[in-house]
């Protein structure tokens, strides 16, 4: 949609933008193959990858000194991405920020003292597990149970039995992306466990999953209910363009922001890959921060956005709204 809007208004100095879409299937090996194809295709920048694991797997390809290409992920949160290379950027906080924000909400806003963590055993799940635990312990809380599950087969029945039998947990953190997170959530609901459930940004879009998602807390940068003129215009255009599409989540809003951020950078740098990378690296440093739907995007020297504000949302009647809303 962003590309259509930009091209309709004249493109980049009269040249249209074109999106090349390739699927990595969320698999590291496929991500490397896709990255190689994109580098060889002559694209000037890559929006992706979605997951931390695929972003980390593909980063060496984009950072290859022989023919590097700018890579901007909308949603890869692993702390390891900070050191993935000079050509790898992201417009979302890292797990160091997401997990900590969720822990502060649980401890300070909900006054909870003890909790259990179920995490998908990959870069994303381990990152949320570690940063939540560290911050929650620092605040005087305790994590009574920490258990991993497989991404493709998240069977957690034994873990849930232990939560019930122990009885000390006041909440459950599910550190997972939405695909496996939904399966875990259904198992929790099937056992009629009524503890508060919390997730990180990987839960974006969970509000679209029906009754099982009601009351779920998640940490995010973007809330679709944000009442700003820019967001209202974006949502109106999105609904008109995709009347049957899924509700807007953070990844959608962040990807939209990246296209416009690249448009502005291309106007300054032209299409030379190195010049474009440098123009993006200057955003928030030598150039003004980019004001997007997801906030004020300003990159640090590592291509991270440490100043983005993290919010806690709660699913209510099929929408994600601020957790502190009446």
Tell me: do 126 and 197 sit in the same domain: yes
Strands 290-292, 295-297: pairing kind: antiparallel
Q: What's the pTM value of the predicted model, to 2 decimals?
A: 0.85
> Number of structural domains, the chain?
2
Region of poorest pLDDT, from 51-60, 238-247, 300-309:
238-247
Number of residues that make up the chain = 326
pLDDT at 326: 58
In sequence order, which residues have a C-beta less than 8 Å from that of residue 14 and are 6 or more positions away?
A: none
Whether residue 170 is contained in a domain is answered as yes
Whether residue 203 is contained in a domain is answered as yes
Tell me: do 60 and 149 sit in the same domain: no
3-state secondary structure of 323: coil
Query: At 96, is the pLDDT very low, low, confident or very high (cuts 50, 70, 90)?
Result: confident
Tell me: do 14 and 89 sit in the same domain: yes
Tell me: do 210 and 256 sit in the same domain: no
Tell me: do 150 and 75 sit in the same domain: no
pLDDT at 247: 77
Q: What percent of the chain has pLDDT over 90?
A: 84
Residue 319 has pLDDT above 80, yes or no: yes
The per-residue pLDDT for range 152-188, each reduced to its tens digit, is: 889 999 999 999 999 999 999 999 999 999 999 999 9
Whether residue 322 is contained in a domain is answered as no
CATH number of the domain at 160, please: 3.40.50.2300
Of the candidates 139, 104, 105, 99, the residue with the CA atom closest to the CA atom of residue 117: 99
The per-residue pLDDT for range 250-269, each reduced to its tens digit, is: 889 999 999 999 999 999 99
Give CA–CA dist 140/168, Å, rounded: 15
pLDDT at 17: 96
Tell me: do 22 and 88 sit in the same domain: yes
Residue 204, CA distances (Å) to 23, 166, 208, 314, 319 in order: 20, 30, 9, 11, 11
pLDDT at 228: 87
User: How many Cβ atoms sit within 10 Å of the Cβ of residue 166?
Assistant: 12
Q: Which residues pair with 172 in a beta bridge?
A: 116, 197
Query: At 246, is the pLDDT very low, low, confident or very high (cuts 50, 70, 90)?
Result: confident
Tell me: do 149 and 80 sit in the same domain: no
Give CA–CA dist 254/251, Å, rounded: 5
For 233-251, give the secondary structure using H, E and C: HHHHHHHHHCCCCCCCCHH
**What mean pLDDT comes out for the span 62-85?**
95
Place of tokens 């074109």: 18
**What mean pLDDT comes out for the span 286-303?**
96
Tell me: do 78 and 104 sit in the same domain: no
Tell me: do 198 and 51 sit in the same domain: no
Give CA–CA dist 107/117, Å, rounded: 15
Query: At 325, is the pLDDT very low, low, confident or very high (cuts 50, 70, 90)?
Result: low
Give CA–CA dist 246/63, Å, rounded: 33
Element (H, E) at 275: helix 273-281
Q: What percent of the chain has pLDDT over 70?
A: 99
Tell me the residue range of the domain where 183 lies: 96-220
């Amino acid at each position: 949609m962003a590309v259509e809007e930009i091209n309709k208004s004249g493109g980049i100095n009269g040249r249209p933008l074109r999106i090349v879409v390739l699927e990595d299937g969320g698999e590291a090996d496929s991500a490397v193959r896709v990255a190689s194809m994109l580098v060889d295709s002559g694209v000037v920048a890559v929006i992706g990858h979605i997951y931390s694991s695929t972003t980390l797997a593909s980063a060496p390809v984009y950072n290859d000194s022989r023919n590097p290409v700018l890579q901007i992920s909308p949603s890869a949160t692993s702390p390891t991405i900070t050191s993935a290379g000079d050509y790898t950027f992201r417009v979302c906080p890292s797990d160091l920020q997401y997990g900590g924000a969720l822990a502060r909400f649980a401890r300070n806003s909900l006054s909870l003292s003890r909790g259990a963590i179920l995490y998908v055993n990959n870069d994303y799940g381990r990152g949320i597990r570690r940063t939540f635990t560290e911050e929650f312990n620092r605040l005087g809380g305790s994590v009574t149970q920490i258990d991993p599950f497989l991404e493709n087969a998240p069977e957690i029945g034994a873990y849930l039995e232990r939560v019930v039998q122990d009885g000390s947990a006041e909440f459950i953190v599910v550190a997972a992306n939405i695909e496996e997170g939904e399966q875990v959530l259904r198992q929790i609901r099937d056992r009629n466990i009524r503890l508060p459930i919390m997730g990180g940004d990987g839960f974006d879009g969970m509000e679209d999953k029906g009754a099982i998602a009601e009351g779920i807390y998640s940490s995010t940068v973007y809330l679709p209910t944000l009442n700003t003129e820019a967001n209202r215009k974006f949502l109106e255009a999105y609904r008109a363009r995709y009347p049957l599409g899924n509700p807007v989540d953070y990844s959608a809003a962040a990807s939209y922001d990246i296209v416009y951020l690249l448009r502005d950078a291309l106007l300054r740098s032209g299409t030379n890959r190195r010049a474009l990378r440098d123009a993006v690296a200057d955003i928030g440093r030598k150039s003004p921060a980019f004001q997007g739907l997801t906030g004020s995007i300003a990159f640090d020297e590592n291509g991270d956005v440490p100043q983005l504000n993290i919010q806690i949302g709660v699913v209510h009647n099929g929408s994600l709204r601020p957790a502190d809303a009446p």
